Chain A
Amino acid sequence: MDAGIVSYGAYVPRYRITPTEIGKVWGTDGEGMGLGLNVLRKSVPAPDEDTITISTEALRTALIRGAIDPQQIGALYVGSESHPYAVKPSATVVSQAVGATPNLTAADFEFACKAGTAAIQTCLGMVGSHMIRYGVAIGTDTSQGAPGDALEYSASAGGAAFVIGRENIIARVHRTLSYTTDTPDFWRREGQRYPSHGGRFTGEPAYFRHVTECANRMFEAVGSAPKDYQHVVFHQPNGKFPQRVGKQLGFSEAQMRYGLVTPYIGNTYSGAALIGLANVLDHAKPGERILMVGYGSGAGSDAFDLEATDAIASFDRSYGRLIQEYLDGGVEIPYAVYAKFRGKIHMGGS
């Protein structure tokens, strides 16, 4: 495929909360819950942050790093399940905020946690067919779990933006393919504030089946095996699922090392696999091969076979933060502040 990642940037909000702190409020063993999920902390957006602001920050970083003229962007897609508007595309605000308007196509994507990877596939098609010069795919979320629900221990906020193009590629995409079925493991009905899920049903028939099938189809399609990849990134709704599926497929801890970020920032939904990929690209060397398998409830998986090019060695990441800084940094807040920031306190009025 004559297309790939030209530049990337990510953004994770400053605040963090621990499972222990959440457990204190609901009378549960938060620490045990965190250990079980392999989530040590999760990020929390400030009251003035949402999917649009996070996407904009991530993309601005990507554009500056890659010295890309925003007027050369022909398509911009924001994948999220927490778009601030039900009707009015996040992509319009982001496009305006980075100076890409008006000569581009823009839209919002939604496919639970894999809307960002679906956006990358769309951009690859448009760039590869020479319809556009650059396509931008963003995966961002500020999702919430209902208070006291298991999801509350992991649902966090963050996003990553990828510029897809044909010139100065730092990670070439050799192949992408998907695996999609109708599997009701997790959903949010129109007008509902919090999502619902099928509990343990989100595991074997949903996450594990789709990720495994998709990865195996990729191995078959390109004639590869787990040992051929230096890095692997899975969707990571918690820190446990990706480790388990990686082991089942035959990947080592070393291959999964950089792609696993959820233990430190929580599950950023549409941003999760993409921030993992950004962390891999922060460390990847020329010639290294990367497998990314996203997953979105509902359900589907997108797999990508990538290879870092020689250009990644000279890629300038000096603007913006490296992912490791987001994993290590942040300011922890108590549950009361978290509840205030996330609008969980009823203030009266309309």
Chain B
Amino acid sequence: MSIARFWRETPRRYNLGGSNCTICGTVYFPPRAVCPTCPHHRQTLEKMVPFQLSGDGEVFSFTVVHDAAEGFEMQVPYVMALVKTVEGPVLTGQVVDISPGEVQIGLKVRATFRKLREEGKAGVIHYGYKFSPALESDVRPPSRGPTVPVETAAPTDRVSA
């Protein structure tokens, strides 16, 4: 993957930056410019706002990979899962920090920040989300969730010299 392409996807891969239709409330990941759920798509053009997923969800389905994709040889066998997030979107991601035999449908997971791949020993390192088993303590009140803005958010006031 080219450096520029991966860089453009950084808000999604690092911070699960999606979008939210302010008319019907549907959350999309990756972000959409229009809402396909609303009957009049064009009306939603200016109504989609950035939305960051919490990263909390559960395993909807999964598979154990024994024949690794390039760059994942050290992690075999590893688990790839469809994760249904609490906000709605279903994401594909690796589930780490668990033995493949312990993964089951319905397992509560949370997003974790990991190295996705390296462009060789001298190239750029790509980072992004994977999933790990959720801790009971990870259930956070909505008001305490991360407030990470996606790339379109304006900088806020800050104290400076």
Contact = CB atoms under 8 A, between A and B. Distances in A.
A47 interface: yes
Mostly helix, strand, loop or mixed at chain A's interface?
Answer: loop
Given A64-B145, A67-B144, A74-B160, A96 B74 contact: no
Given A131-B161, A341-B74, A64 B114 contact: no
Contacts of B114: 46, 48-49, 53
Contacts of B96: 46, 48
Nearest to B150: A99
Contacts of B12: none
A130 B159 contact: yes
B97 A46 contact: yes
A30 interface: no
A102 B135 CA distance: 31
Residue with the greatest number of chain B CB neighbours at <10 A, chosen from A48, A50, A103, A131: A48
Q: How large is the interface on B (under 10, 10 to 19, 20 to 34, 35 or more residues)?
A: 35 or more
A72 B156 contact: yes
A136 interface: no
Interface in A85-115: 85, 93, 96-99, 102-103
A93 B127 contact: yes
B108 interface: no
A259 B101 CA distance: 36
B125 A84 contact: yes
Contacts, number: 103
Contacts of B137: 318-321
Q: How large is the interface on A (under 10, 10 to 19, 20 to 34, 35 or more residues)?
A: 35 or more
Nearest to A166: B159
B140 interface: yes
A84 B114 CA distance: 13
A130 B161 contact: yes
Contact of A98 (B10, B75, B121, B148): B148
A52 B127 contact: yes
Interface string A58-74: 00100110010111101
B155 interface: yes
Interface string A111-143: 000000000000000000111110000000000
A14 B140 contact: no
A74 B159 contact: yes
Contacts of B147: 69-71, 99
A279 interface: no
Contact of A103 (B144, B146, B155): B155
A57 B159 contact: no
Given A46-B96, A74-B158, A320-B138, A85 B125 contact: yes
Nearest to A342: B74
A71 B115 contact: no
B65 to A, nearest CB: 14
B84 interface: no
Interface string B51-83: 010000000000000000000011100000000
A63 B148 CA distance: 10
Contact of B140 (A71, A96, A319): A319
Contacts of B10: 96
Nearest to B115: A48
B155 A71 contact: yes
A350 interface: yes
A154 interface: no
Nearest to A99: B148
A244 interface: no
Contacts of A52: 115, 125, 127
Given A71-B155, A131-B161, A320-B138, A48 B148 contact: no
Interface of A: 14, 46-50, 52-53, 56-57, 60, 63-64, 67, 69-72, 74, 84-85, 93, 96-99, 102-103, 129-133, 316, 318-321, 340-341, 347, 350
Interface of B: 10, 14-15, 52, 73-75, 96-97, 112-116, 120-121, 125, 127, 130, 135, 137-138, 140, 143-149, 155-156, 158-161
Given A50-B125, A74-B159, A99-B148, 18 more contacts: A46-B96, A48-B116, A49-B114, A49-B115, A52-B115, A53-B115, A60-B113, A63-B146, A64-B140, A67-B143, A69-B156, A71-B147, A71-B158, A72-B158, A74-B158, A319-B140, A320-B138, A321-B137
19 contacts: A47-B75, A47-B115, A48-B96, A52-B125, A56-B113, A57-B113, A64-B140, A69-B147, A74-B159, A97-B15, A97-B127, A98-B148, A99-B146, A99-B148, A131-B159, A132-B159, A320-B135, A321-B137, A341-B74
